[in-house]
A = this chain, B = another copy of it.
Amino acid sequence: MTQTIHNRAAAAGLRMTAPRRVIARVLDAADDHPDAEALHARAAAIDPRISLATVYRTVKLFEEQGILEKHAFGDGRARYEAADGGHHDHLIDMATGQVIEFVDPEIEALQEKIARRLGYRLIGHRLELFGERIED
């Protein structure tokens, strides 16, 4: 982890109130891609007074600061992860739902090329692979 969510949020000028500190801490501790409800459950385990509404408001705030990334893996709800500066894509295990992160410079370059060919400057992208584990 380059830097904690908490530090980056504070550096961005956000008032780090008690609920926000708890939520930041939960996000820092997460090595998965929790949804709002999961974040709320984990935060409420630390301080039960924290509401789901505050979780939603806080993740939106962090997202606006570029501290957090919001993903929509097609299951209806949004899932979150710390933005590590470096970009990466996702491979989703179709059997378990587990999300694996990867980076591939070659595919990044190829996307730029495709966009340019279509007359566009590439601003962002979303790539998700769906696969099943190869047993050997």
Binding site for B on A (CB under 8 A): 72, 74, 91, 93-94, 100, 102, 104, 106-107, 110-111, 114-116, 118-134
| Cβ-neighbour of A125 out of B106, B110, B130, B132 (below 8 A) | B130
- Assuming the A-B contacts A72-B74, A110-B106, are A122 and B115 also in contact, with contact meaning beta carbons closer than 8 angstroms in the complex? no
Nearest to A74 among chain B residues (CB) is B72
Q: Which residues of B contact A134 (CB under 8 A)?
A: 116, 119-121
| Cβ-neighbour of A111 out of B123, B126, B129 (below 8 A) | B129
Tell me whether chain A's interface is mostly helix, strand or loop, or mixed: strand
Separation in Å of the A17 CB from the closest CB of chain B? 29
- Assuming the A-B contacts A106-B110, A107-B107, are A130 and B121 also in contact, with contact meaning beta carbons closer than 8 angstroms in the complex? no
Q: Which residues of B contact A107 (CB under 8 A)?
A: 107, 110-111, 114
